[in-house]
Chains A and B, each alone.
Chain A
Amino acid sequence: MKRYLLFIVLIALAITSCGTSNDNKITITWWHFWTDTSIKPIIEEITADFEKKHPGVKVELVDLTWADGHDKIAISFSSGAGPDVVELGSDWIPEFSSTGHLLDISDKTESYRDGFLIWEPGLYENRHYAFPWILGTRVLFINQNLLMRAKYAPDYFPGYWNDLLTACERINSLGEEFYGFGSNSAERHRLYKKFLPFLWSNGGTILSNDGKSCVLDNPENVAALEYYLKLCKTGLTDTQRRLEDAFLDGKIGFVISGDWLLKRIAREKPDFAFNTALIPTPDTNSVISSFAGGEYLCVNSKSAHPDLAFELVKHICSPENQLKFCQQNKTPTPSSVTASTNDDFISQPHFMTFINQLKQSKMPPAHPKWVYIEAELERAIEEALYEVKTPADALKDAITKIDEILSQ
């Protein structure tokens, strides 16, 4: 019997000894997604720098992956064991802010509003819950070889919808293996990101100004969907991954994509003749033409050290640290205005396209029920794409369902 007791005592010791630390430092935990070996050292450098400035504070980094990071964050917050600081994708914020899991940082961020871009995803009932960090947007990628074969100058880019349609038709008629436009197929959770910029640039909206009803069938929206379908007919419809493959193979004239494609081209096909441009607008009046997304930093409302946690957020988002991060990660779109005016930084090829496009980008409404609205919106786009319904009917039918979601 004694032997068993010893065994149990040993196990108990082993379990309890794991959790204790022997210094009296305050620990701030930060859950983040940058696990790649090319960027993780920068994250560590930034946190080490914070520790140096705040003696007695230790920053504990926890790596998350895109595969299940979202679930882990949600589960940890719902069980009250969330980290002090968490990195959230822009479209995840509302579900956390609307349920009281995030610290209201409205007063703390007041003096920073002008120096950083796109605060909207962090807004819930006019209060701020998220600090913009690394943003992203999508631009038009152009295959210059196909452009020249279609008798355009290599530096040509379509400024307006009609120009794009004409250019796509001309490239599409070059031969069976060439496609004008690379359009997204019925890819759940991605299709709406491709369509919404067309809707916005045409002056359309999904919800009424007060956010209480759906106005999806207004003429601007219908016209935008009709244009998108026309564009789809001038090329290849496939998943984003395969569209980018085909673009790199030189088969597609125009494809809308983000900075990851820049990196991929540099890595896989550095000699590829391509250009980037702002996504065309219907006419000169439009100001918005792309879909933005990004990474935001939030403080847990149950954090034991909310002020220190916010200090860490500020430190990570400071222009110097953003610049350091973006330069290493080849991300053209920091949220900091100061960082995106650094001469060295913006001189990198194609970065200016992204920086300019970001100023003409928008995110979907920060609504706690967005994921439901998104599903109905995508259903409508799909029905029109597959010619089950006309664009007008498809959008009209979605209204009933979205209104129902809004009223719950």
Chain B
Amino acid sequence: MKQNGYAKGWMLFSPWIITFLVFWFFPLVYSLVISLTDYRLLDPSVDWIGFANYSKLFSDADFISSLKNSFIFVIGTIPFTTAIALALALLLNEKFKGRTFFRAAYFMPSITSMVVIALIFSNLYARGGYLHLLADMIGLAPPANGFLLSENSALASIMAMDIWMASGYYMLLFLGGLQTIPTELYEAATISGASKWHQFRYITLPMLKPVTLFIIVINSIKSFQVFIEIFVMTKGGPLNSTFTGVYFVYENGLRKFDFGYASAAAYVLFAIIAIASVIQFKFLKTEWKA
């Protein structure tokens, strides 16, 4: 009878397990194997070439610059997204009229399709677009052909859009975190005469550490994987200034059909993301314990 229970359990579970194995686990392992070959999608001849794809990657100037762009993207967006999300959460945690409206409004961008947002921003950033006109009006001397067509501002413009878009979602996570902090802590602090700043510094921030860790790790992974924005807005240009790691994988895999090389690049990215996540965990976790 017990055995029967197991069978039932596995059977109910199997749709997920099978999909996971076939569409997730198998491709993951298979792409690792492919990365050691010269497999091209349409070419029937496949040879083992060991780590040749990997060594070629590190002498490929385009790959190095794509990694650099990915790092700029991550380092340039995460502090801002996190700080803005936290600030919004603190504001919207206060009781005031219309609070729900603002919570919903700030969250809205993160449930909107990325392609739609990217298209709208392409228009806002273009020559004659509203953001371009605004920058011109306040004397910022924006690039003549719009923000996305200048190698100096294209990546920064996409980063700014990403911060705008992502902040609302992380705000919601921070709000959740804020609401788990027991109010007694603040009451006790008020009685002991702690100022608002001290309450924030010594109660709110430490209590938010687990949420912050989660947000930074998740956001780093997402930012390393930036793709749709680039695909819709700049296709990696101008002058490769927005050519990021995942876009490199796409170009080599699905444009040039060089699956071996693209898989190797994907695995290098995977390693970088894994290392970055481990470092973040270590760094933020120990500090929390102390």
Contacts and interface: CB of A to CB of B under 8 A. Distances in A.
Genuine A/B complex: yes
Interface of A: 1, 4, 71, 74-75, 77-78, 95-96, 99-101, 185-189, 236-239, 242, 371-372, 379, 382-383, 386, 388
Contacts of A1: 4
Nearest to A95: B42
Nearest to B241: A186
B42 A101 contact: yes
B237 A188 contact: yes
Given A100-B44, A185-B238, 9 more contacts: A1-B4, A77-B42, A78-B42, A95-B257, A99-B42, A236-B127, A239-B122, A242-B122, A372-B256
A386 B152 CA distance: 11
Nearest to B126: A242
Contact of B145 (A77, A100, A101, A185): A185
B41 interface: yes
Name, among A71, A101, A386, the residue most crowded by chain B CB atoms within 10 Å (CB to CB): A386
A189 B41 contact: no
B134 interface: no
B238 A99 contact: no
Nearest to B43: A99
Interface in B60-86: none
22 contacts: A4-B7, A71-B254, A74-B42, A95-B42, A96-B42, A100-B44, A101-B42, A186-B239, A187-B237, A188-B235, A188-B236, A188-B237, A189-B255, A237-B145, A238-B126, A238-B127, A238-B146, A238-B149, A242-B122, A382-B237, A386-B151, A386-B238
Contacts of A236: 127, 145
B11 interface: yes
Contacts of A388: 239
Contact of A237 (B149, B151, B234, B255): B149
Contacts of A185: 145, 149, 237-238
B130 to A, nearest CB: 14
Nearest to B144: A237
B44 A99 contact: yes
B17 to A, nearest CB: 16
Contact of B256 (A99, A101, A371): A371
Nearest to A101: B42
Contacts of A78: 41-42, 44
Nearest to A68: B254
B43 A382 contact: no
B59 to A, nearest CB: 12
B141 to A, nearest CB: 16
Contacts of A237: 145, 149
A390 to B, nearest CB: 15
| 3 interchain residue pairs of minimum CB distance | A186-B238, A186-B237, A188-B235
A9 to B, nearest CB: 14
Contacts of A383: 239
A197 to B, nearest CB: 21
Contacts of B254: 71
A107 to B, nearest CB: 24
Contacts of A75: 41
Interface residues of B, number: 26
Contacts of A74: 41-42, 257
B235 A189 contact: yes
B95 to A, nearest CB: 46
Contacts of B149: 185-186, 237-238
A386 B11 CA distance: 61
A366 B237 CA distance: 25
Contacts of B239: 186, 382-383, 386, 388
B235 A187 contact: yes
Nearest to B45: A99
B56 to A, nearest CB: 12
Nearest to A249: B128
A185 B145 CA distance: 9
Contacts of B126: 238, 242
Nearest to A245: B123
Contacts of B256: 371-372
Residue from the set A186, A372, A383 with the largest chain B CB neighbour count within 10 Å: A186
A372 B256 CA distance: 7
The winner among A4, A71, A96, A238 for most chain B CB atoms within 10 A is A238
Nearest to A189: B235
B238 A238 contact: no
B238 to A, nearest CB: 4
A96 B257 CA distance: 11
Contacts of B146: 238
Nearest to B242: A186
Nearest to A183: B145
Nearest to A73: B42
Contacts of B41: 74-75, 78
A99 B145 CA distance: 42
A71 B41 CA distance: 10
A99 B257 CA distance: 12
A226 B43 CA distance: 39
Nearest to A246: B128
Interface in B117-149: 122-123, 126-127, 145-146, 149
B148 to A, nearest CB: 8
A100 B149 CA distance: 40
A368 B66 CA distance: 25
B58 to A, nearest CB: 17
A155 B58 CA distance: 57
A182 to B, nearest CB: 12
Nearest to B151: A386
Interface in B1-48: 4, 7, 11, 41-44
A77 B257 CA distance: 13
B32 to A, nearest CB: 19
Interface string B228-264: 0000001111111000000000000011110000000
Nearest to A96: B42
A171 B289 CA distance: 69
A187 B255 CA distance: 15
Contacts of A4: 7, 11
Contacts of A371: 255-256
A75 B4 CA distance: 41
Contact of A238 (B11, B145, B234, B257): B145
